[in-house]
Chains A and B, each alone.
Chain A
């Protein structure tokens, strides 16, 4: 049957999807290919971190006095130092590779510690409500109100800058975000009938929390963790910039940017390349996080 369209039907009956703006299209396309961002991420973060011992062309902490402030290749430099050298004559490429290891381990350990704390406390607050909830949520508010940098200053003054100090600061900044998010979700999930059913089937509180509620908030936790790797790297950079980060001469991206800031006019590459590494890593992690959120959103789940 081939019905002619009624005369008075508006011509929009055949809907032509509006073409999104070209920039937006590129963005959408990027988002739908997380492999690209994962690839950028791997190249920038994971592979250098794992293989720096064998692949790095130079010792990241040993400077050659004769080779100070050499520009990168194509800018008057040589292949000996592809990204140039800093003011102590250390190879920037090697330092970025070793720095990736620092950024990666701080992100993973910090997010794990902060996430574990936050998820546990958020779960308890949302599940038990009452006083537990009130006390934990006041702690969250206190933690969110305290500036992280201030805490870092205090801790660094007390213990000296170290890996542990950074982890404590990162965990302190992150746990409250997890706790608040998880609590909100648990508040709604605990009212579902399958939680009540587990209760009347004789499951313990611990079992209900771990087995019945946790998998239902896992999506949120994964997405939050992915999106936070970026902010942790930036936080680490900020701490290093202030001299509260990883102690010298261990290379860290933030510290490298900080070191080059006085020479930005004469030797821009000292700050530029670690800065570029931070930017690209955070960017690709955000892409990955966005993609994960879209994929894991239960509302978009295919039936």
Chain B
């Protein structure tokens, strides 16, 4: 179901975030570039610790202080670079134009306030709504995410709700100010599978209704396949492959993407032992020379040991090109073979 391709609404260029730790200064996000178009969903996928969440926080400028700092790059949104905005201007963007749903529904709501007051707080921060109609807006937002009987539920406290319900409330807070971009940081990881699929369906419906653009962070390729238009595969703080979902899935150009796809369990193949990538991602303080994936890569050539590969555009068979950082792509027809 191809969507009409809209204008680019959010463009991240060469974003860099450093962590100041006992180990020294570490690059958690190292030159990440992403682009998100109006009404589309961009998936960011990768192992845990590869910088997915840090990228999202860097976009909004809310990296955990005092350890982390965004040190370079541009975040273009509606024609302005978010990195040049003042804290005050950023506060208006956060939650207003770009909002975010966090991973754990158990702790994303404040235990001492009712659901209603937490939703109304978000609205009151960004929209000039008279006090009297705030609660009506909150109930409306809850109804949008299919919370049953929202008139009663607004009086509940978070501990009176189930995990799935809480995540819906978080969703309601995130969309209550009609943002243009929603960053969803593993919103379904803590939910069980049936609740998860309900939640994803809901997200798609809202997107179709409002034309919301979504950045979806996950480590679940199944979700990427069903939710996203484009995907960026991250490894060790860098994007290693990106492009339209189908192109990346059908013709993965980076060995890491192929390895990730291989490690997804499937029902239709009878495998004795699930594939897993040998080794671990390099530690932040111990990056090898050359390609960072080469120690785990079955296709490594001598060149991989000296220089990190540049982004190379690959010609797709279906006419859709996509980009990967791998020396193998100097032969532009290279597709990582199935193992």
Query: CB within 8 Å of B: which residues of A?
Result: 128-130, 192-194, 196-204, 211-212, 215-216, 298, 301, 303
Q: Which residue of B lies closest to A129 (CB)?
A: B66
* Contacts A128-B65, A212-B110 given; does A196 touch B93 at CB 8 Å: no
CB pair A200–B65 under 8 Å, yes or no, is no
Given contacts A197-B108, A203-B125, A204-B91, 10 further A-B contacts (CB under 8 A): A193-B108, A197-B109, A197-B170, A198-B110, A199-B94, A201-B121, A201-B173, A202-B126, A212-B110, A215-B113
Out of B92, B104, B174, name the residue touching A193 (CB < 8 Å). Answer: B104
Interface residues of B in 136-181 (CB under 8 A from A): 159-160, 170, 173-174
Q: How does the 8 Å CB contact mask read for B47-73 relative to A, with 1 for contact and 0 for none?
A: 000000000000010100110000000
Q: How many angstroms between the C-alpha atoms of A262 and B160 in the bound complex?
A: 63
CB of B231 within 8 A of chain A? no
CB pair B109–A200 under 8 Å, yes or no, is no
Q: How does the 8 Å CB contact mask read for B66-93 relative to A, with 1 for contact and 0 for none?
A: 1000000000000000000000001111
Q: How many angstroms between the C-alpha atoms of A74 and B93 in the bound complex?
A: 77
A153 CB → nearest B CB, Å: 40
CB pair B100–A303 under 8 Å, yes or no, is no
Number of interface residues of B (CB under 8 A): 33
Task: Report how many A-B pairs have Cβ atoms within 8 Å.
Answer: 71
CB pair B91–A194 under 8 Å, yes or no, is no
Contacts of B126 in A (CB 8 A): 202
CB of B122 within 8 A of chain A? yes
Query: CB within 8 Å of A: which residues of B?
Result: 60, 62, 65-66, 90-96, 99-100, 102-104, 107-113, 121-122, 125-126, 159-160, 170, 173-174, 183
CB pair A202–B107 under 8 Å, yes or no, is no
Out of B94, B104, B108, B111, name the residue touching A202 (CB < 8 Å). Answer: B94
CB pair B108–A303 under 8 Å, yes or no, is no
B59 CB → nearest A CB, Å: 10
A303 CB → nearest B CB, Å: 6
22 contacts between A and B (CB under 8 A): A128-B65, A194-B107, A194-B109, A196-B102, A196-B108, A197-B102, A197-B108, A200-B62, A200-B99, A200-B102, A201-B121, A201-B122, A202-B91, A202-B93, A202-B94, A202-B95, A202-B96, A203-B121, A212-B110, A215-B110, A216-B111, A303-B159
* Contacts A130-B65, A200-B100 given; does A298 touch B111 at CB 8 Å: yes
* Contacts A130-B66, A202-B125 given; does A194 touch B110 at CB 8 Å: yes
Contacts of B125 in A (CB 8 A): 201-203
Q: How many angstroms between the C-alpha atoms of A211 and B110 in the bound complex?
A: 10
A182 CB → nearest B CB, Å: 16
Point out which of A130, A201, A211, A303 has the most chain B C-beta atoms below 10 A from its C-beta.
Answer: A201
B116 CB → nearest A CB, Å: 15
Q: Which residue of B lies closest to A196 (CB)?
A: B102
Q: How many angstroms between the C-alpha atoms of A81 and B109 in the bound complex?
A: 61
Q: How many angstroms between the C-alpha atoms of A216 and B109 in the bound complex?
A: 12
Q: How many angstroms between the C-alpha atoms of A212 and B92 in the bound complex?
A: 19
Q: How many angstroms between the C-alpha atoms of A205 and B184 in the bound complex?
A: 23
**Interchain residue pairs A-B with the least CB separation, the first 8:** A201-B95, A130-B66, A202-B95, A202-B94, A193-B108, A200-B100, A193-B107, A215-B112
Q: How many angstroms between the C-alpha atoms of A198 and B107 in the bound complex?
A: 12
Contacts of A200 in B (CB 8 A): 60, 62, 94-95, 99-100, 102, 183
Contacts of B170 in A (CB 8 A): 197
* Contacts A201-B125, A202-B96, A204-B91 given; does A216 touch B107 at CB 8 Å: no
Contacts of A201 in B (CB 8 A): 94-95, 99, 121-122, 125, 173-174
Q: How many angstroms between the C-alpha atoms of A259 and B326 in the bound complex?
A: 89
Out of B90, B113, B122, B160, name the residue touching A303 (CB < 8 Å). Answer: B160
CB pair A216–B95 under 8 Å, yes or no, is no
Contacts of B122 in A (CB 8 A): 201
* Contacts A202-B95, A215-B112 given; does A193 touch B65 at CB 8 Å: no
* Contacts A192-B107, A193-B103 given; does A203 touch B91 at CB 8 Å: yes
